[in-house]
């Protein structure tokens, strides 16, 4: 059992919190109430960033002390939205939210994952018609191993996990968000994920 703080109580955060609790972890969900995120992060070993990506950097930088020495699992995508509310462009072109977080939080082990799919797939990967791929980017091998174990608890098989390397590789995974609006417009809001076929 791991003590986990989920920052963000929207569809993504709520979905992850429910699944992680079901898997036997001790989960605290922090909403937008003043001090909620700091209190949740302080008591956790692992923190999940499920806050809207456009504001994640400011929100998490304010938690530098609480996040020190912790594993930060970043599942958010930082984008600007188009008129229809769907992602239109990357907020950090030439870099990534994960890289920005790691630079701002040098005492925290940032691992990017679960951001290349619609949120229902994060906790139900086996429901797709073919195996999806979940990517991991991060500098610390032990942190990535802890995240792999968490992914296993969410239903991800080891052969579906692809370690891309250091945190700089997160910019490739984050750029995959640009597929999402086009796929949704073409096929509707049906769960899907990026998959590497071999």
Tokens coding 49:
């960033």
pTM here?
0.96
pLDDT score of 31? 80
Question: Is residue 132 within 8 Å of 117, Cβ to Cβ?
Answer: yes
Backbone region of residue 93 per phi and psi (left: phi > 0; alpha: psi in -120 to 50; beta: other values): beta
**pLDDT tens-digit series, residues 136-169:** 999 999 999 999 999 999 999 999 999 999 999 9
Please state the domain extents for the chain: 3-187
- Got the DSSP string for 41-95? HHT-SEEEE-S-HHHHHHHHHTTHHHHTT-EEEE----EEE-TTSSEEEESSTTS
The residue among 82, 116, 110, 114 whose CA lies nearest residue 97 is 110
The 8-class DSSP code of residue 106 comes to T
What CATH number has the domain spanning 3-187? 3.40.50.720
Report CA Rg, the chain: 15
Give me the residues of the chain with pLDDT under 70, please.
none
pLDDT score of 34? 77
């Amino acid at each position: 059992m791991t003590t986990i703080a989920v920052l963000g109580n929207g569809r993504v955060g709520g979905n992850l919190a429910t699944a992680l609790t079901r898997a036997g972890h001790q989960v605290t969900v922090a909403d937008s109430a003043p001090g909620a995120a700091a209190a949740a992060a302080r008591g956790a070993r692992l923190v999940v960033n499920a806050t809207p990506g456009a504001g994640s950097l400011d929100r998490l930088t304010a938690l530098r002390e609480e996040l020190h020495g912790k594993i930060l699992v970043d599942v958010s995508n930082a984008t600007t939205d188009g008129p229809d509310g769907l992602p239109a462009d990357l907020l950090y072109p030439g870099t990534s939210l994960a890289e920005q977080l790691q630079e701002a939080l040098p005492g925290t082990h940032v691992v990017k994952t679960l951001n290349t799919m619609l949120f229902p797939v994060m906790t139900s990967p086996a429901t797709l018609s073919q195996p999806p791929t979940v990517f991991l980017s991060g500098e610390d091998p032990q942190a990535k191993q802890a995240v792999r174990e968490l992914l296993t608890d969410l239903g991800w098989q080891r052969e579906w996990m692809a370690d891309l390397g250091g945190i700089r590789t997160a910019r490739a995974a984050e750029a995959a968000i640009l597929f999402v609006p086009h796929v949704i417009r073409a096929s509707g809001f049906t769960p899907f994920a990026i998959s590497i076929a071999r």
